[in-house]
Chain A
Amino acid sequence: MKLTLEFGGGLELLFGSVKIHEVAVPPPEGETKVTVKHLLLWIRDNLLKERPEMFLKDKSVRPGVLVLINDCDWELCGTTEAVLEEKDTVVFISTLHGG
């Protein structure tokens, strides 16, 4: 499944300082759907360059990271259970505090 992944707010540093990644994520074996839960594991195993604890915690994203599916808060779409569709854009953004 073709997806656009974006990392911001400093998270891109964990992905070779690249913000936008066009990826193809295969569904888990024996299944047809790709959930966000599956996507997180796929990112951990295929995209993450360093320090996984800076991105993930307990099978979800770490506190302070907002997940947006097609510019919509993932809380409104079912968080880790949200089912992704072809060409969806998933944004991971770390909250900023500077001022």
Chain B
Amino acid sequence: MGEMDEEDVVMRRISKLKKESVREEMVSRFARIRKEAREFREQLAFQEREEEAENADIVAGCKSDLDGEAQCREPEGQQFTKNTKQKEGDLKSQDPEAKKQEDRRLGSCGMENGSCAAGVFSSGHSMGADFIRRYSRQLLVPSFGVSGQKKLSESAILIVGMGGLGSPISSYLAASGVGRLGLVDSDVVELSNLHRQIIHTEAFIGQPKVSSAASACLALNSSILVKEHGRGLNAANAVEIISQYDVVVDATDNIPSRYLISDACVATAKPLVSGAALGLEGQLSVYNHKSGPCYRCLFPVPPPPGTRQRCSDNGVLGVVPGIIGTLQALEAIKLASGFGETLSSRMLLLDAFSTRIHMVKLRGRSPNCFACGDAPQISAANLHEFDYERFTESTLSEEGPKAQELIPVNDRLSSAELKKLLESGKPHVLLDVRDSHEYVISSLPSSLNIPLSLLKERLSVLQSAVDSVVSFPDNPQEKEYPGLQDVGSSKEECSSVVPSRENTSIYVVCRRGNDSQKAVQFLRSEGFSSAVDVVGGLESWAKDVDERFPFY
């Protein structure tokens, strides 16, 4: 490497470090501002509540003077209000804290029957002035109206999964005035979540998703109740948690959870709004409602493990779960408030690539269904005994497939060993078998990219790379990682001196070390006996060798 090159590398590293420190500074400043803003808002809300209480006192005082007149004007309405309020009072828990919450929810001023400011203007419902102002635009929708809003405010909805789907679901349900929201998730917020999980902010990175989402929901609407279920849903707690709610929304990212939630909804007779999104596609339906099917009616047998795709492998455009989640919120609102036609026995299919929405008609409830059929095998009493992870051959999280071992570990390289070999100057070709769209995100310097699926037809490219390599004394850590900005700059640039096929090793990497084993098996069968792969792939390189590697 020439002096100019070295200087160039140093300058680039300095500039990168500067950028990183500026970024960190910005992030922490942003988090600070957000925190201050939140505190200010809370203070403001508190002051407003105090003022309201004061005003209510004044109104109550005036009211005693007006009492006679009001009763003359609207004796029936007033009587009705009192009766309803009395009934509600009977139904509600006697717990004073619950009473206070209930009053806040319905926007009343927290006073006894008849003495509330709103009561003066009562027209047969117990909605306070704040309640009416807040939801006025919804109250004006004729088919929803006062009765829809009241039912919604008295309903409890459980959202399982606070990710890309759960974000718009919880936001809209909180804003629309669902009485009680339950949020389920056991994960913490990560940077790679934020592009789609828009309820979470940078300030909450590393915090439980349920806390982040609950604080966002309450910031949006402090008059609702939000309960956090931060330990996630499993066979042991599903029935107990779900039975506390009226409607359940499945916003999870894995198959066992989908079967578990569906079964628990069948066992507790709750309608289920189920949505999914991946890449540029989305699916949505309502299960276990009226004569419609449950998830098991549709998919009695889980798909084989090899056929499943995950957001962390296949990607997802942020807005796609946004669209599906928003539609899930709509279905949940309709189920909770009892208006409109839901997606029961229908499925909505979204193709975001060409902006097409398909509505398809589904089968009804299957009499042979394991969960909801005429002779169901699963009930609230025995659901906890069912092993969902074994049934679906996967875990109750978005965890990927287990690391495969096609080649014995002692016949493979660790990422640390790879580093030493690269630094030793031993003649080699560093072959990266990821798909090209992943390779351009980030890659090791001086690597050759041939995707596993194309390896067979591009063997000649590898052969010529092997033929042209003798020594490669570069230290990869002294180089910037090629990625986004400089696509392909290091591709096939292995410098040539004297061809020497015999002593040239082929080091094969991929993202996590599964495809690289398949590649090595194939290469050895084709006579490249010196091919060896790296355990754990680039994930291990980023973890064990160089944290700076931009793993994705």
B488 interfacial by beta-carbon distance below 8 Å:
no
Given A73-B360, A75-B363, A93-B349, A99:B164 Cβ within 8 A: yes
Chain A residue at minimum C-beta to C-beta distance from B252: A99
Residues in B whose Cβ lies below 8 Å from that of A10: 278-279, 281, 307, 309, 314
B226 interfacial by beta-carbon distance below 8 Å:
no
Residues in A whose Cβ lies below 8 Å from that of B311: 98-99
Set B299, B310, B358: member contacting A98, Cβ < 8 A: B310
Give chain A interface residues in 75-91, CB to chain B under 8 Å: 75-76, 91
Set A57, A93, A97: member contacting B255, Cβ < 8 A: A97
The reply to whether B321 and A99 contact each other, CB–CB distance below 8 Å, is yes
Residues in B whose Cβ lies below 8 Å from that of A9: 278, 281, 283
- Interface residues as binary, A9-23 with B (CB distance below 8 Å gives 1, 0 otherwise): 110000000010000
Give chain B interface residues in 307-347, CB to chain A under 8 Å: 307-311, 314, 316, 321, 347
Set A57, A75, A96: member contacting B283, Cβ < 8 A: A96
Set B307, B349, B362: member contacting A54, Cβ < 8 A: B307
Interface centre among B252, B254, B306, B309 (most CB of A within 10 A): B309
Complex alpha-carbon distance, A71 and B163, angstroms: 30
Residues in A whose Cβ lies below 8 Å from that of B281: 8-10, 96
Residues in A whose Cβ lies below 8 Å from that of B358: 71, 91
Looking at the assembled complex, report how far the CB atom of B300 sits from the nearest CB atom of chain A, in whole angstroms.
8
Complex alpha-carbon distance, A19 and B163, angstroms: 28
The reply to whether A64 and B302 contact each other, CB–CB distance below 8 Å, is yes
Given A91-B358, A99-B161, A99-B166, A63:B299 Cβ within 8 A: yes
Interface centre among B163, B277, B283, B300 (most CB of A within 10 A): B283
Set A73, A93, A99: member contacting B361, Cβ < 8 A: A73
Residues in A whose Cβ lies below 8 Å from that of B277: 96, 98-99
Residues in B whose Cβ lies below 8 Å from that of A71: 358-361
**Secondary structure of the B side of the interface?**
mixed
- Interface residues as binary, B240-254 with A (CB distance below 8 Å gives 1, 0 otherwise): 000000000001111
The reply to whether A64 and B307 contact each other, CB–CB distance below 8 Å, is yes
The reply to whether A72 and B283 contact each other, CB–CB distance below 8 Å, is no
Residues in B whose Cβ lies below 8 Å from that of A97: 252-255, 258, 276, 278, 308-310
Looking at the assembled complex, report how far the CB atom of A16 sits from the nearest CB atom of chain B, in whole angstroms.
12
Looking at the assembled complex, report how far the CB atom of B261 sits from the nearest CB atom of chain A, in whole angstroms.
12
The reply to whether A99 and B304 contact each other, CB–CB distance below 8 Å, is no
Residues in B whose Cβ lies below 8 Å from that of A63: 299-304
Set B165, B258, B306, B351: member contacting A8, Cβ < 8 A: B351
Residues in A whose Cβ lies below 8 Å from that of B275: 99
Looking at the assembled complex, report how far the CB atom of B275 sits from the nearest CB atom of chain A, in whole angstroms.
7
Given A62-B307, A76-B361, A98:B301 Cβ within 8 A: no
B44 interfacial by beta-carbon distance below 8 Å:
no
A68 interfacial by beta-carbon distance below 8 Å:
yes
Interface centre among A64, A94, A98 (most CB of B within 10 A): A98
Set A66, A91, A93, A99: member contacting B165, Cβ < 8 A: A99
Set B253, B308, B314, B360: member contacting A99, Cβ < 8 A: B253
Set A8, A66, A72, A99: member contacting B276, Cβ < 8 A: A99
Looking at the assembled complex, report how far the CB atom of B305 sits from the nearest CB atom of chain A, in whole angstroms.
11
The reply to whether B307 and A94 contact each other, CB–CB distance below 8 Å, is yes
Given A9-B283, A71-B360, A73-B363, A95:B299 Cβ within 8 A: yes
B14 interfacial by beta-carbon distance below 8 Å:
no
Complex alpha-carbon distance, A62 and B304, angstroms: 8
Complex alpha-carbon distance, A85 and B255, angstroms: 35
B9 interfacial by beta-carbon distance below 8 Å:
no
Looking at the assembled complex, report how far the CB atom of B146 sits from the nearest CB atom of chain A, in whole angstroms.
34
B484 interfacial by beta-carbon distance below 8 Å:
no
Residues in A whose Cβ lies below 8 Å from that of B255: 97
B66 interfacial by beta-carbon distance below 8 Å:
no
Chain B residue at minimum C-beta to C-beta distance from A50: B453
Give chain B interface residues in 155-201, CB to chain A under 8 Å: 161, 163-166
Complex alpha-carbon distance, A63 and B296, angstroms: 11
The reply to whether B278 and A98 contact each other, CB–CB distance below 8 Å, is yes
Looking at the assembled complex, report how far the CB atom of B67 sits from the nearest CB atom of chain A, in whole angstroms.
55
Interface centre among A10, A54, A75, A97 (most CB of B within 10 A): A97
Cβ contacts A to B, 23 pairs, < 8 Å? A8-B281, A9-B281, A54-B306, A62-B304, A63-B299, A64-B304, A66-B298, A73-B361, A73-B363, A76-B363, A95-B276, A95-B283, A95-B299, A95-B303, A96-B278, A96-B309, A97-B254, A97-B258, A98-B253, A98-B316, A99-B252, A99-B277, A99-B311
Additional 18 contacts, C-beta under 8 A, given A63-B304, A95-B298, A99-B252 = A8-B281, A62-B303, A64-B301, A64-B302, A64-B303, A66-B298, A72-B361, A73-B361, A93-B283, A95-B276, A95-B299, A96-B281, A97-B252, A98-B310, A99-B163, A99-B164, A99-B166, A99-B276
Q: Which 10 residue pairs are nearest across A and B when measured between Cβ atoms?
A: A64-B303, A98-B278, A63-B301, A96-B276, A75-B363, A99-B253, A99-B165, A98-B311, A71-B360, A96-B278
